[in-house]
Every structure is written in structure tokens, then in C-alpha cells.
């Protein structure tokens, strides 16, 4: 039997997942499915597949306009997602989700060419998300035990913007979702 939180997540994607993903050519649902499928293709553990699927669920939890980031509004979606997911999922799902914005800032500071590879909407949001990390922020970020998972998630996130990428359906991720719920 499918757990109530899984049904709630499916309902969120059904009602709000058709909205466009922040200036990109994919919907919120397409972006989530692409992120999760990329994680699965990389043989990620279930917790990272679920984190990839749900990393932007915070966008579905607020009532701001679709293009809030283009208007310079930080919807703090990673915090909204973290607050929601903490109630239901294990820490190895929640923490990479909470850190995925910081991972973008980190990668801009530490990986040559990363900033240039970002889409324009990602560059725009980077500004009000704190910009490129300084040296002290980089060191602080690396103290989190989930920082490497957050970096992996971030890289799948960056690639998950292809309108022609064919993915499995949401129902195909039920097993991973259910395996990573708090007991």
C-alpha cells in the first residue's frame, strides 16, 4: 500500500508540477523526473534518487509566481523542501536537498568552468542565493557530512533541463520513495 506522504507528493506534482521550471524549457515535474532518472542512471543509492526527485519540491509548496526568481525573489525553496521532507524522510534524503543551492555556490567557487556552464536562470538566482562562496564558506560547506551527496545532486539538477529527455514516470519511483521514509 502506498504511504500517505507518497500520495501527497504525487498530488503536489499533479496539481503544480505542470508549472514551468524557473525560466527553463521544462516543467517542474519534468525537471524532477530528469534529475531522479539521471541519479538512477549513475547508480545512485535510493536516498539520492529520492533527493534528486524532490530537491525542488519547495517550489510546489509556496504560492509565489512561477517566475519569482526572474523578479529577484528568492523563494528559499530548499528551506521549504527541507522543512517538509524532514517530517517524512531520512536524513540522507533531506540534507542533500537542503544543501543543493549551497552546492551550486560551492561549485562556482571550486570547479573551473562551472559558473559558465550554468543556464541564465541559474546564474540569475545565484545572485540572491548568496553568490559564489568565499574561501571560508567553502571550508564550512565541506564540514557537512552530506556535502558530496549535495554536489552529486546539484550536477544532476543542472543537467535536468532538456525538453527532449525521456524519463520513467513518477510511479516508477514509488519503491525508492517508500524505502527512504522514516520508520
Average pLDDT, the chain: 91
> In the chain, how many domains are there?
1
CATH code, domain carrying 80 = 1.10.3210.10
CA neighbor of 29 nearest in space, from 41, 44, 39, 16 = 16
SS3 at position 89: strand
| Domain with 143 in it | 4-179
pTM: 0.91
CB atoms within 10 A of CB 53: 27
135-177 pLDDT tens trace? 999 999 999 999 999 999 999 999 999 999 999 999 999 999 9
CA neighbor of 173 nearest in space, from 51, 19, 14 = 51
Instruction: Indicate the helix (H) or strand (E) that contains 104.
Output: helix 91-110
- Backbone φ and ψ for 127, nearest 5 degrees, come out as -60, -50
Is a pLDDT exceeding 70 seen at residue 16?
yes
Inter-helix orientation angle 28-41/46-54, to 10°? 160
Amino acid at each position: 500500500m502506498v504511504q500517505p506522504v507518497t500520495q501527497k507528493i504525487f498530488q503536489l506534482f499533479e496539481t503544480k508540477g505542470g508549472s514551468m521550471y524557473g525560466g527553463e524549457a521544462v516543467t517542474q515535474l519534468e525537471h524532477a523526473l530528469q534529475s531522479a532518472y539521471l541519479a538512477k542512471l549513475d547508480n545512485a543509492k535510493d536516498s539520492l534518487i529520492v533527493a534528486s526527485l524532490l530537491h525542488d519540491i519547495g517550489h510546489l509548496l509556496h504560492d509565489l509566481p512561477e517566475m519569482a526568481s526572474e523578479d529577484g525573489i528568492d523563494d528559499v525553496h530548499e528551506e521549504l523542501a527541507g522543512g517538509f521532507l524532514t517530517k517524512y524522510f531520512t536524513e540522507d534524503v533531506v540534507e542533500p536537498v537542503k544543501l543543493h543551492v549551497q552546492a551550486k555556490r560551492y561549485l562556482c567557487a571550486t570547479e573551473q568552468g562551472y559558473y559558465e556552464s550554468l543556464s541564465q536562470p541559474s546564474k540569475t538566482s545565484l545572485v540572491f542565493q548568496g553568490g559564489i562562496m568565499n574561501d571560508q564558506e567553502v571550508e564550512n560547506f565541506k564540514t557537512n557530512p552530506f556535502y558530496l551527496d549535495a554536489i552529486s545532486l546539484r550536477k544532476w539538477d543542472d543537467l535536468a533541463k532538456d525538453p527532449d529527455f525521456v524519463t520513467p514516470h513518477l510511479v516508477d519511483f514509488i519503491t525508492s520513495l517508500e524505502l527512504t521514509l522514516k520508520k
